[in-house]
């Protein structure tokens, strides 16, 4: 069935804060555990202002840490960050199994 010409495309759902935290942590995992802020900014598709807000929360919660590699500041995922992603995956699988969005 073809939608009427004036029908609007459904807007994509916005990511929740938890999804954004997970995106940042997953990006760090993919990058070998550490990444420069610019790589996180582009990989997580965030503005600089929003990136700083999310990095601050992840730092305070102990999911990431700041480090220096080759004279440049990077962010590294911590063991607590790895545990968070592991447990979040269980929640996502549970949610999907019951058809309940998180």
Distance CA(95)–CA(89), nearest Å, equals 10
Q: For residue range 41-56, what is the model confidence (pLDDT) as tens digits?
A: 999 999 999 999 999 9
Q: For residue range 38-95, what is the model confidence (pLDDT) as tens digits?
A: 999 999 999 999 999 999 999 999 999 999 999 999 999 999 999 999 999 999 999 9
- Domain spans, the chain: 17-96
Count CB neighbours of 41 within 10 A.
Answer: 18
Q: Under CATH, which architecture does the 17-96 domain have?
A: Orthogonal Bundle (1.10)
Distance CA(102)–CA(99), nearest Å, equals 10
Would you call 11 helix, strand, or coil by DSSP? Answer: coil
Q: For residue range 23-41, what is the model confidence (pLDDT) as tens digits?
A: 999 999 999 999 999 999 9
């Amino acid at each position: 069935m073809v939608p009427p010409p004036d029908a609007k495309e459904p807007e994509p759902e916005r990511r929740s804060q938890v999804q954004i935290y997970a995106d940042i942590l997953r990006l760090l995992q993919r990058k070998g555990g550490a990444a420069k802020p610019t790589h996180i900014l582009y990989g997580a598709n965030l503005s600089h202002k929003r990136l700083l807000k999310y990095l601050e929360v992840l730092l305070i919660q102990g999911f990431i840490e700041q480090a220096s590699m080759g004279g440049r500041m990077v962010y590294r995922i911590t063991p607590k960050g790895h545990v968070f992603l592991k447990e979040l995956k269980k929640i996502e699988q549970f949610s999907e199994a019951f058809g309940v969005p998180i």
